[in-house]
């Protein structure tokens, strides 16, 4: 039931993303390059989380569509740039050739730049939103995705590569809070910006989103060591191979699993403390999904 | 006199740009990389044009500061990315090492991404602007700098390189209107968004900005063939060497100079048609500057 709702929203996101880049009068295939990566997407967990949170708060998830699309555009541009040769130098992502392998490096850089720019464009031009909501969303998105958020986290991550266990747990947490946590937090808090619930609700949801972000990363690290390659669709052990600090390398399997359980319980607890008028089923389901995923 | 005003504004822009990137709690030098390129700036012609236009319209250029800074951040990020090896592969810009030569390629990509993001951040967080003005500015900036504007123009330019005279004058004009014209138009029209003059004034200023954009490019092409290397601070003839289509290669020297005169006259005419209450001295000076520059 809840899974159906998620799939339905992911389908809607997929369709809207494909239509989100208008043709240009300039005779280039830049727009094809932008769409190629937008359409190569996975589970659309970030935009779906945004829409489910908004649905819970206001019963009108439609008002979150532009923020959800903008969020996925930011996520997508970051993957295009991260895959480039001077960064992670990846040829494949989710079984498809990466953007620069298809369109060339210079166009991949520009497609990423254009998607980043388009994220703000799509939110600021959304007629369904009041000006005050647009302002709050753009404030939040520019912070979450910029040098104090995602880009800063990616920088610290790149810088720490190869340092192995010399990166301590505080630095690891900083990296993940910024690199992946910031956009997951945006997903939840963008819904708060639009629905404008009381402060207590906003605080519980913010805490929920922070625990989700850490769950996401700890699980990633566990799967890279103990995951099933067939289900993951990629080989395990890459973190060890790259001498990368992870929750497992720093805390051991038991330590990482304990930490996973701590954040899972805390996320449940945040939802329990919300007023009874909110139906938290879908957000509970997201916790289960993050906790039990095998890929 | 007018030149003093320009220098004073450029100095103010320089100081504000240096202070515009706050330190992060993440232990990287990403912010140093962002500032390195922000502080390597030239004449600051775009932000100065924005502030002079706003001063003419409203006598309070201060309200344009965040848009001026955001505009220069967009211009700066585009230079960082354009200089990268897969793009123009430049080691020097204005006599200083390019960003990636100092900080490495991956950090230059991320510094560009962060500056692009910061441009929207600084406008949306400007307390001096009403929400409606912020919205208009972000709409205009995301359009001017995205795939239908600057990034699209850069794509078409890269794609056309080496095609020599096979690029026709229409395509050349398309490239320049998008690649350099869009941000110059933003400079003028951002002031219009903030001051909100009558429609007739907005139209004349838009036309003025379009002529300025083409003047800028035609002059660039003329200087690359007939300029004085000592004054330019770089060697001439690079367009011919790179078999690049230019106004000179397509129209000849006389044809390019005729076109320059046409746009210069038209820009003057636009200013003449503004209501007498506006003191156009500074914007006239900008035309002279674009027309007579030797570097």
Q: Spell out the domain ranges in chain B.
A: 2-292
Interface check for B118 against chain A (CB to CB < 8 A): the answer is yes
Which of B27, B104, B116 lies nearest to residue A116, judging by beta carbons?
A: B116
Interface check for B251 against chain A (CB to CB < 8 A): the answer is no
Q: How far is A207 from chain B (nearest CA, A)?
A: 20
Interface check for B169 against chain A (CB to CB < 8 A): the answer is no
Cβ–Cβ of B28/A156 closer than 8 Å?
A: yes
How far CA B239 is from CA of A8, B139, B226, B246, B247, in Å, comes to 53, 34, 12, 7, 11
Interface check for A133 against chain B (CB to CB < 8 A): the answer is no
Reduced to 3 states (helix: H, G, I; strand: E, B; else coil), residue B283 is: helix
- Nearest-10 Cα torsion for B83, B89, B92, B98: 50
In this structure, what DSSP letter does residue A92 have?
E
User: How far is residue A91's CA from residue A97's CA, in Å, rounded to a whole number?
Assistant: 6
Strand pairing report for B92-93 and A92-93 = unpaired
Selected residue of A117, A123, A139, A179 to mutate for chain B interface (largest B Cβ count, 10 A): A117
User: How far is residue B153's CA from residue A13's CA, in Å, rounded to a whole number?
Assistant: 29
Q: Within A146-294, where are the H helices?
A: 150-160, 169-176, 182-195, 199-226, 229-232, 238-241, 247-272, 281-292
Model pLDDT for residues A164-210, shown as the tens digit of each residue? 557 899 999 999 999 999 999 999 999 999 999 999 999 999 999 99
Contact B217/B211 with Cβ under 8 angstroms?
no
Residue A18, Cβ neighbours under 10 Å: how many? 11
Q: 35-74 in A: which are within 8 Å (CB) of B? A: none
How far CA B43 is from CA of A77, A257, B78, B92, in Å, comes to 31, 56, 16, 17
Model pLDDT for residues B118-164, shown as the tens digit of each residue? 999 999 999 999 999 999 999 999 999 999 999 999 999 999 886 66
CATH of A2-292 among 1.10.8.80, 3.30.70.520, 1.10.600.10, 3.90.1530.10 = 1.10.600.10
Contact A112/A77 with Cβ under 8 angstroms?
yes
| A235 has a pLDDT exceeding 80 | no
For the purposes of burial, counting CB atoms within 10 Å of the CB of A102, is it exposed (0-12), middle (13-18) or buried (19 or more)?
middle
Instruction: Of B208, B220, B295, B210, give the one whose Cα is nearest residue B256.
Output: B220
Which of A21, A113, A152 lies nearest to residue B116, judging by beta carbons?
A: A113
User: How far is residue B133's CA from residue B121's CA, in Å, rounded to a whole number?
Assistant: 14
| B1 has a pLDDT exceeding 60 | no
Joined tokens for residue A53 = 């949170």
Looking at residue B241, its pLDDT comes to 79
Mean pLDDT of A224-238: 82
User: How far is residue A111's CA from residue A100's CA, in Å, rounded to a whole number?
Assistant: 10
Q: 87-116 in A: which are within 8 Å (CB) of B? A: 87, 104-107, 109-110, 112-114, 116
Joined tokens for residue A33 = 């390059």
Dihedral sign (CA A15, A17, A18, A19)? positive
In this structure, what DSSP letter does residue B133 have?
H
Model pLDDT for residues A94-134, shown as the tens digit of each residue? 889 999 999 999 999 999 999 999 999 999 999 999 999 99
Q: Residue A84 phi/psi, 5° resolution?
A: -60, 155
Q: How far is B283 from chain A (nearest CA, A)?
A: 30
Joined tokens for residue B186 = 């933003």
Which residues of chain A does B153 touch, with a Cβ-Cβ cutoff of 8 Å? 26
Model pLDDT for residues A13-71, shown as the tens digit of each residue? 999 999 999 988 888 999 999 999 999 978 999 999 999 999 999 999 999 999 999 99
Which of A21, A34, A124 lies nearest to residue B138, judging by beta carbons?
A: A124
Please give the full DSSP string across A37-56, using - where no structure is assigned.
HHTT----HHHHHHHHHHHH
Which residues of chain A does B106 touch, with a Cβ-Cβ cutoff of 8 Å? 84, 86-87, 158
Work out the widest C-alpha separation in chain A, in whole angstroms: 57
Contact A170/A29 with Cβ under 8 angstroms?
no
Q: What is the ipTM, given to two decimal places?
A: 0.96
Looking at residue A164, its pLDDT comes to 59
């Amino acid at each position: 039931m809840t899974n159906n709702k998620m799939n339905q929203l992911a389908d809607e996101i997929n369709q809207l993303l494909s239509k989100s880049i208008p043709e240009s009068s300039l005779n280039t295939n830049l727009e094809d390059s932008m769409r190629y990566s937008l359409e190569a997407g996975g589970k659309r967990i970030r935009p779906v989380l945004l829409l489910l949170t908004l649905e819970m708060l206001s019963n009108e998830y439609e008002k979150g569509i532009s923020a959800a699309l903008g969020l996925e555009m930011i996520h997508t541009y970051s993957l295009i740039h991260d895959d480039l040769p001077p960064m992670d130098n990846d040829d494949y992502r989710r079984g498809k050739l990466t953007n620069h392998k298809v369109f060339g490096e210079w166009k991949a850089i520009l497609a990423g730049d254009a998607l980043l720019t388009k994220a703000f464009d799509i939110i600021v031009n959304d007629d369904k939103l009041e000006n005050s909501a647009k302002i709050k969303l753009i404030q939040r998105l520019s912070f979450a995705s910029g040098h104090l958020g995602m880009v800063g986290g990616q920088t610290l991550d790149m810088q720490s590569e190869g340092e192995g266990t010399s990166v301590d747990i505080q630095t690891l947490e900083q990296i993940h809070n910024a690199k992946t946590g910031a956009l997951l937090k945006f997903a939840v808090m963008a819904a708060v910006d639009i629905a404008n619930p009381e402060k207590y609700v906003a605080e519980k949801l913010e805490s929920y989103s922070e625990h989700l972000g850490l769950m996401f990363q700890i699980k990633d690290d566990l799967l890279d060591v103990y995951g099933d390659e067939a289900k993951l669709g990629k080989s395990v052990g890459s973190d060890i191979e790259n001498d990368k600090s992870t929750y497992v390398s720093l805390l051991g399997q038991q330590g990482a699993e304990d930490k996973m359980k701590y954040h899972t319980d805390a996320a449940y607890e945040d939802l329990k403390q919300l007023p009874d008028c909110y139906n938290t089923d879908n957000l509970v389901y997201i916790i289960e999904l993050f906790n039990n995923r095998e890929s």
